[in-house]
Amino acid sequence: MMFLKKNPILKTLLFAFISIAFLVSCTHREPKIFVIGDSISLFYGPYLQQDFSGKFIYDRKGGTGDAFKDLDNPTGANGGDSQMVLDYLKELHAKKDFKTDYFLINCGLHDIKHKSMDGPAQISLGDYKKTLEEIISLTRQMKAKMIWLNSTPVVDSIHNSRVPFFRFNKDVVAYNSAADSIMNHAHVPIIDLNTFTQKYIPEGYMDHVHYKEDVRKKQADFIMQNLEEIVK
């Protein structure tokens, strides 16, 4: 202390250093990641939120209680098909106080729903592509970085024998492939949850398309591992 008293310049520099360190510590915060996804994300979401602790700020579309009332008819926190995701992003964009650093977005399983075996998909592949491009554009307007999460697999024989509508894995493959091309062209990072999940099927299913508790935890951990590589 006596040394500092005799060296006013050193004392001033030390005070400045401490002040800067204090300001940095006060202004630093973890990156915020806002999740928009289908009902698969509702199940791994709590585990992902736990994984985020101390590293990222977790937020997502609200209305979890409403979403669980009917997982096959998206409402509340269930992001639904690509058009629903785009519409929701437009709502967020209109809110001047909304801010996030990243969007973690998935849509696809609701896009490929068919009312009959031979009927059209809920959202055609062409419209799906256009909507994804609009989603990317809008997230950029919102000054947020987008991360894409692809759709998990479907086993036709299991799915289509348990619910009164249809999904086909060939559509999952086609829509994921189209999304891959669009995201790669736009330099949007992709988390390949589809490939990761394949090894847990069919034993990991709890119903026609959702997963048992242990698989949900593994999905969340896999997503977190990818996010730690992407968000640096």
CATH of the domain at 120: 3.40.50.1110
Sign of CA dihedral 217, 219, 225, 231: negative
Residue 206 lies in a domain: yes
The pTM for the full model equals 0.87
Q: Return the pLDDT at 9.
A: 64
Q: Return the pLDDT at 22.
A: 42
Helix (H, G, I), strand (E, B) or coil at 144: coil
For Cα atoms 30, 35, 41, give the angle at the middle one, nearest 5 degrees. 125
Number of domains comprising the chain: 1
Residue 184 lies in a domain: yes
CB 135 within 8 A of CB 86: yes
pLDDT tens across 133-168, in order? 999 999 999 999 999 999 999 999 999 999 999 999
CB 60 within 8 A of CB 67: no
pLDDT by residue for the chain (232 residues), tens only, comes to 554 455 656 555 555 455 444 443 444 689 999 999 999 999 999 999 999 999 999 999 999 999 999 999 999 999 999 999 999 999 999 999 999 999 999 999 999 999 999 999 999 999 999 999 999 999 999 999 999 999 999 999 999 999 999 999 999 999 999 999 999 999 999 999 999 999 999 999 999 999 999 999 999 999 999 999 999 8
Residue 202 lies in a domain: yes
Domain of 95 in residue numbering reads as: 27-230
Residue 46 lies in a domain: yes
Residue 20 lies in a domain: no
pLDDT tens across 208-230, in order? 999 999 999 999 999 999 999 99
User: What percentage of the chain exceeds 90 in pLDDT?
Assistant: 87
Residue 74 lies in a domain: yes
Residue 42 lies in a domain: yes
> How far is the CA of 147 from the CAs of 63, 71, 150, 227, in angstroms?
22, 24, 10, 9
- In the DSSP assignment, the letter for residue 115 is S
